Structure 1
């Protein structure tokens, strides 16, 4: 997980440096964060409507290195403080999730045994499992880098922006996932100690996450980091391109395959994957919606700027040039 986070952070830094060439006006971090928090509170009360048309991603709303990092900080802050700002409807959703995890938990071991049986009997599952699983790891970095390069080469602001948001979502989701993983300390299904067999047990925050048996990680199973990362990126693309049904279908299908592969590769229990998918989905939506609040702020600021335009007036048979100064 540390290695994965380091690679992702490296890709993030490189992307930010490349985008520094497209700098917009300096962003006041404190002011912007306060405005984002204010709009977040309002969005919790009134349903937020996002403009995802191509024209919505423009000079005003484009991310540069500074605004990217400010927005990333806002995402992390909102993600980690969400439990302290939950509404009644949020508690209802939390209860539904908890009930789902408890119910699925009874099937953790049977699902694991069935998945391993399928893997042992099917050479196709064995040969493709690790490859698919890596789409929640290094292949995801390569894919996002390819999208980012496409956006830059062809000057497609939306593609570039959505790719940057996907990296924000992955970073934010993995930070949250790491905290939950540390707190729960759950045993992985591929862990076999000298005197015990693998079982889906939670050992709590005092479990040794680095302890291994036979070179395998032990108490770092819940939730699945690969699945979290896959759904975090997939959800951003699904939200930003929801008017193109094929993109959400492809994005969520790939993320789901990553989650299933983590089970067939015997790296995670079913509840680990389910929780990773939920965490990634919620993170992706939070990142996308927060960006559109940022875009609204930048567009409002742009409309308030003083502008000077030239116009021609026709008076008494003559064309008279003039300047119009619009200020707010």
Structure 2
């Protein structure tokens, strides 16, 4: 009898213990996120360095054109241009040729600056100031190269490989074309300032190209002279604009303002310091 009572007591204890344990609901299973997240593709090296690659390719192409023109095409191009020269090409050259000289360019920049100041067009003022600065930078580079090469003009000789070099008397200054370099320096700056315009860069470079072609039409330069002038003008214009942007970003305190000026019958620049 006693063993049977002990068995009932043990069963009662186990039942009471089990009843005291609270019921814990089973948590639902975790559902993983199966949404497809599309990550933005990493920029390839080519896309990241697109500007550098285009610039390098352009430099190689221009160098190749210059070498090819100098070696084989200067005299054929000169002969072709003179054989097809007519009243229309002469008149066109007469109209555009001054756009590569100092006085018309200074007058153009002065007009741009004045209109920009009166009409409150900061881009127009910037194009005038940087364009004028690029003219002087380009003039220094072009004049030094002319003195070093002292190449004979096609109107003087039909030998396109005739140079006096740095030891010459300074009478032969065909390479590079200063008219073309001046025009392309101005076009490069204006196109850089108005890079977001659809028509300004094509018009600017188109006019500069006509200036270069006018020098071939007038038999004042070989084709390689014009190509070299266009390259130098483009690079000096871009370099001047780049330097201006860096300088403008770091200026603080006194402000230096450059404006076109005319003094004693000569064009130039005037500098003003504003505090």
TM over 0.5: yes
Query: What is the aligned counterpart of 1:249 among 199, 202, 209?
Result: 202
Whether contact under 8 Å (2:123, 2:194) holds in the other structure is no
Structure 2 residue 251 is the aligned partner of structure 1 residue 285? no
Is 2:190 the counterpart of 1:224? no
Query: Residues 181-210 of structure 1: CA distance to partner in whole angstroms, max 9, x if unpaired?
Result: 111110011115xxxx55342221112223
* SS of residue in 2 equivalent to 1:291: helix
Structure 2 CA distance, aligned partners of 1:146 and 1:278? 26
Structure 2 residue aligned with 1:100:
65
- Determine if the alignment matches structure 1 residue 155 to structure 2 residue 120: yes
**For the residues of structure 2 that align with 1:171 and 1:293, how far apart are their CA atoms?**
19
Aligned residue number for residue 23 of structure 2:
none
- 1:180 aligns to 2:145 (yes or no): yes
Does residue 135 (structure 1) correspond to residue 99 (structure 2)? The answer is yes
Using the TM superposition, name which of 141-150 and 251-260 deviates more.
141-150
CA distance in 2, matches of 1:155, 1:198: 53
Q: What does residue 115 of structure 1 align with?
A: 81
Note the aligned Cα RMSD (angstroms): 2.6
CA–CA separation in structure 1 for the residues paired with 2:152 and 2:190: 32
Mark the CA change 1:207 to 1:283 in structure 2 (over 3 Å): closer, same or farther.
Answer: same
Structure 2 unaligned residues grouped into runs of 5+: 1-47, 254-275
Please state how far the C-alpha of 1:159 moved relative to its aligned partner. Answer: 1.2
Q: What is residue 295 of structure 1 aligned with on the other side?
A: 248
User: What's the CA shift string for 1:248-303, capped at 9, x where partnerless?
Assistant: 011000000000001001110000000000001011111111111112213xx47x
Relative distance call for 1:287 and 1:114 in structure 2 (3 A) is same
Moved more, 266-275 or 127-136: 127-136
Distance 1:90 1:145 in 2: 31
- Structure 2 counterparts to residues 188-227 of structure 1, below 5 A: 188-192=153-157, 197-210=158-171, 219-227=172-180
Partners of 2:195 and 2:208 in 1: CA distance: 16
Q: Secondary structure at the residue paired with 2:84? A: helix
Q: Paired residue for 2:13?
A: none
Match of 2:264 in 1: none
Q: C-alpha displacement at 1:148, in angstroms?
A: 1.5
Q: Is the alpha carbon distance of 1:111 and 1:91 closer, same or farther for their aligned partners in structure 2, counting shifts above 3 Å?
A: same
Alignment check: 8 A CA contact 1:230 1:255 kept: yes
TM-score (norm 1): 0.57
